């Protein structure tokens, strides 16, 4: 499923940034992709990475192979692996990560487990990524609003 968030609207047309749905697939297949590498991909490459599914084990393996091929062809670099999380927090609908709850609290929001459970996996993934202190997280509040959490 091709899903872009409203908070990504400023770059969806050009895909000059890596959208959340692709970032989720990267974390799922265990490949590190830098923005400068993404920007060396053609528009068709980027579209393929957006549209190619990455849910089943077979799809994840195929996505990984495609990504490794594109990184090598477009940048001349070998793809870098990143560790896979055996139990990623975005798959856990019963526990809200502390960083997400803390970040929500900065905006006066307190998320309930029911709200968390009602989110799609890619929405939980986005909130987790946007709540990290190492991430430029100006989109956290727009994401909360888009997901009807505030």
Alpha-carbon distance of 72 to 138, in angstroms, equals 32
Average pLDDT over residues 133-148: 84
- In this prediction the pTM is 0.91
Average pLDDT over every residue of 80-89: 94
User: If you average pLDDT over residues 68-88, what whole number do you get?
Assistant: 96
Give residue limits of the domains in the chain. 6-81, 89-146
pLDDT at 12: 72
- Other CB atoms closer than 10 Å to residue 114's CB: what's the count? 8
Asked if the model's pLDDT at residue 52 lies above 80, the reply is yes
DSSP secondary structure, 40-85, as one string: TS-HHHHHHHHHS---SHHHHHHHHHHHHHHHHHHHS-PPEE-PPP
In this predicted structure, the answer to whether residue 78 has a pLDDT above a threshold of 60 is yes
| Residue 1 pLDDT greater than 70, yes or no | no
């Amino acid at each position: 499923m091709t899903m872009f968030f409203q908070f990504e609207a400023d770059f969806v047309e050009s895909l000059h940034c890596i959208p959340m749905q692709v970032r989720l697939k990267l974390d799922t297949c265990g490949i590190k992709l830098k923005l400068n590498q993404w920007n060396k991909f053609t528009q068709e490459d980027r579209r393929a990475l957006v549209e190619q599914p990455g849910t089943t084990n077979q799809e994840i393996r195929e996505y990984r192979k495609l990504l490794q091929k594109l990184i090598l062809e477009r940048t001349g670099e070998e793809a870098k692996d990143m560790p896979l999380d055996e139990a990623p927090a975005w798959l856990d609908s019963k526990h809200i990560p502390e960083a997400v709850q803390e970040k929500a609290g900065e905006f006066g929001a307190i998320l309930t487990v029911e709200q968390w459970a009602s989110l799609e996996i890619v929405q939980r993934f986005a909130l987790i990524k946007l709540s990290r202190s190492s991430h430029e997280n100006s989109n956290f509040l727009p994401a909360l609003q888009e997901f009807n959490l505030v």
